[in-house]
Amino acid sequence: MTKQKPVILVVDDEVEVLNAVLRDLRSKYGKKFRIVKAISGEEALEITHNYKKRGMNIALFVSDQRMPGIDGTEFLEQAIKLYPYSKRILLTAYADTQAAIQSINDINLDYYLVKPWDPPEQHLFPIVDDLLFDWEASNEIEYAGIRVVGYLWSSDCHVVKDFLARNLIPYQWLDIELDEKNEALAKTVVEDLNASPVIFFPDGDTLTKPSIPELAKKIGLKTEAKEPFYDLVVIGAGPAGLAAGVYGASEGLSTIVIEKEAPGGQAGTSSRIENYLGFPKGISGADLTRRAVAQVERLGAELMLTKEVMTITINDQYKIIKLSDGSELRSRAVLIATGVQVNEFNVPGIEELSGSGVYYGASLTEAVSYKDKDVFVLGGGNSAGQGAMFFSRYASKVHVVIRRSDLEQTMSKYLIDRLEAAENVDIVSQTEIIELKGDGKLEQLVLKSSQSGESSTVSASALFIFIGAKPNTKLVEEFIDCDGAGFIKTDNSIEKWTQKRPPYPFETKTPGIFAVGDVRSGSSKRVAAAVGEGAVSVQMIHRYLSTV
């Protein structure tokens, strides 16, 4: 049976405009998508209901705003109840742009397009390309074929799920405890179910409790460098490192970005970045990462994953980078963009329960597992706020535990407003978590009030930890100076500079080794700032390379 094409549904009561949209969309997308028309909002809703009953996918709605009867906003509001993950474009006249902007908030509109859009190559196709790219990425999970079978409370299963998700690899999670069929499937490979996770691949292969490098190789991630020598080696693939990869490659430098875990850094785990320029409805960290990785690779930089930089040595003007598998790379310049990691939370019970109901950072892969349950978020920064809002979609209650009396000094106002407006989120202020309890999984937290000094024990299904961060600088300690908090000093803050020329912006005390992003002393610790630093640093690296 031939698989049906996903649908692009176009709605407009003006026949001339409708035909123009159909013509343009069919010319560009007709081979991959079925382009369907409707002459009114009512007809479009009837089609939408019919397609839902038939199990058909609608990738994109394109609707005019001004129509008799049901207008564009009303149609989309009803349509997304049936197809919540479909993309939405509203066609407007210039006079209707305010209604379109309001729709961004009311119905989570993806884009509004002011008529006319000629030429479509400039005003229509780039927008539709971007939205369909997003839709295909988020819906690929139904067809990818990778299945992970195991126990929800297994830390080994959590590591595998988190690695796949952060590397944007779709998979299906099958919990052994929820369905006998899942247990039977696992037993086709292993007798001892404690050996889970068992991973099933579309080609018939299986892996049992694999190492991360083993899993990365199987799913086709790039884990080897193509060349032995590069103009620029970037260590770390967060926003700063990926931006440097984009600009390094686009400006003619042979560039490789090395990442020991997954691209995106801490930003990649964010459920929603609301204040990143150019995305009026916000963008998830995963979406931003996916776009950046595609851009890095399209422009010719390499991205090498699951390899950790162990040491850097200097040989004349060259830097020798030794990797965790024993191999070496050489480069003319090195950019440190290793970012930060969440501080360890040292309380009784943390070691036994980590990965079994207790998670560092957002761990978005686990959120759906806590539907209708009580979860706790520890921390008062923006990451904690974003995580709490995401978990509130699933959990019956989200408790945000903070030491301070309020969030005013540590969290952006827009996040505070959202937390306060959410009915199932409460702020537990002036409180510490002093112990975790549970048998094989988290079951209880012991809380202590800093006001009264009294302790209390509460039930908890999950704890997500966001308690500040420390810089990742161990591998380059001998080449850098750090401030009191361990962040790398650069340019004007360097105390001992041995060259006749002044250090370039972002350059460390070692000529040719630069640092950007969250790991750098004095950086603003924001995604947009990290991207800017990564981009600008390439210009400074060009200046350095012209001197050697």
DSSP letter string, 242-267: HHHHHHHHHTT--EEEEESS-TTTTG
* pLDDT score, position 141: 41
Residue 223 lies in a domain: no
Q: What tokens does 425 get?
A: 């989120």
Boundary-marking domain end, from 210, 242, 266: 210
**Per the domain annotation, does 117 fall within a domain?**
yes
Our count of domains for the chain comes to: 4
Alpha helices in 318-409 (DSSP H): 350-353, 382-391
> How much is the CA Rg of the chain, to the nearest whole Å?
26
Backbone angles phi, psi at 525, to 5 degrees: 55, 45
Q: What is the dihedral of CA 426, 429, 433, 437, to 10 degrees?
A: -30
Q: Please report, for the domain that includes residue 318, its CATH number.
A: 3.50.50.60
In the chain, % of residues over pLDDT 90: 66
pLDDT above 70 for 438: yes
Give the C-alpha separation, 65 to 90, whole Å: 6
The answer on 388 and 457 residing in a single domain is: yes
Give the CA angle between residues 15, 20, 23 to the nearest 5°: 120
Please say whether the beta carbons of 497 and 393 come within 8 A: no
CATH number at residue 183: 3.40.30.10
Q: Are 530 and 517 in contact (CB under 8 A)?
A: yes
Tens of pLDDT, residues 301-333: 999 999 999 999 999 889 999 999 999 999 999
Do 135 and 46 share a structural domain? yes
Listed range (42-51, 188-197, 330-339) with the worst mean pLDDT: 188-197
CATH code at 15?
A: 3.40.50.2300
The alpha carbon of 477 is separated from its chain's Cα centroid by a whole number of angstroms, namely 29
CA distance 409 to 430: 14
Same domain, yes or no, for 137 and 148?
Answer: no
542-to-141, 243, 244, 320, 504 alpha-carbon distances in Å: 41, 15, 12, 19, 10
Decide if 494 is inside a domain: yes
Residue 215 lies in a domain: no
Lookup result for tokens 């839709």:
135
In a domain, 314, yes or no: yes
Tell me if residue 483 falls in helix, strand or coil: coil
The phi and psi torsions of 75 (rounded to 5 degrees) equal -60, -50
* pLDDT band with cut points at 50, 70 and 90 for residue 143: very low
Cis (ω within 30 of 0) for the bond into 239? no
Residue 438 lies in a domain: yes
Q: pLDDT tens-digit profile of 507-546? A: 999 999 999 999 999 998 889 999 999 999 999 999 999 9
Instruction: Give 234 or 134, the one with higher predicted confidence.
Output: 234
Distance CA 211, CA 193 (A): 17
Say if residue 438 is in the same domain as residue 402: yes
One domain for residues 95 and 148: no
C-alpha to C-alpha distance for 442 and 497, rounded to whole angstroms: 51
Mean pLDDT of 237-259: 97
Contact (Cβ atoms closer than 8 angstroms) between residue 237 and residue 519: no
Token look-up 């990738």 returns 59
Positive/negative CA dihedral, 185, 186, 187, 188? positive
Domain-terminating residue out of 467, 497, 525: 467
- Of the three residues 121, 141, 161, the one that is the final residue of a domain is 141
441 and 528 fall within a common domain: no
Tokens of 70: 């049901």
> Which of 65-69, 94-98, 412-416, 533-537 has the least mean pLDDT?
94-98
- Please give the full DSSP string across 46-67, using - where no structure is assigned: HHHHHHHHTT--EEEEEEES--
CA dist 310 and 323 (Å) reads: 5
Q: Could you tell me if residue 216 is inside a domain?
A: no
Name the percent of the chain in helix, strand, coil, to the closest 5: 35, 25, 40
pLDDT digits (tens, 9 = 90+) for 369-395: 888 999 999 999 988 999 999 999 899
Q: Are residues 183 and 267 in the same domain?
A: no
pLDDT digits (tens, 9 = 90+) for 70-92: 998 999 999 998 898 899 999 88
Longest dimension (CA), the chain: 75
Question: For residue 13, is it within any domain?
Answer: yes
pLDDT on residue 107: 79
Both 177 and 106 in one domain: the answer is no
Same domain, 42 and 124: yes
Q: Is 300 left (phi over 0), alpha (psi -120 to 50) or beta?
A: left
Containing structural domain, residue 512: 229-341+470-545
255-259 vs 229-235, strand pairing mode: parallel
Give helix 41-53 / helix 72-82 axis angle, nearest 10°.
10
Nearest to 425 by CA among 458, 386, 466, 383: 386
Lowest-pLDDT range, 201-210, 413-422, 470-479?
470-479
Question: Mean pLDDT over residues 222-244, rounded?
Answer: 97
- Please check the confidence at residue 427 and state whether its pLDDT lies above 90: yes
Measured CA distances, 284 to 267, 273, 436 (Å): 9, 6, 30
pLDDT for position 1: 37
Q: Do residues 332 and 474 share a domain?
A: yes
DSSP result, 385-442: HHHHHHHTTT-SEEEEE-SSS-STTTS-HHHHHHHHH-TTEEEE-SEEEEEEE-SSS-
pLDDT at 364: 75
Judge if 408 and 461 occupy the same domain. Answer: yes
Q: How confident is the model at residue 478 (pLDDT cuts 50, 70, 90)?
A: confident
Measured CA to CA, the distance from residue 81 to residue 78 in angstroms comes to: 6
Are 58 and 129 in a shared domain?
yes
DSSP state of 520: B
- Considering 162-176, 215-229, 266-280, the range whose residues carry the highest mean pLDDT is 215-229
pTM of the model: 0.78
Band of residue 2 on the pLDDT scale cut at 50, 70, 90: very low
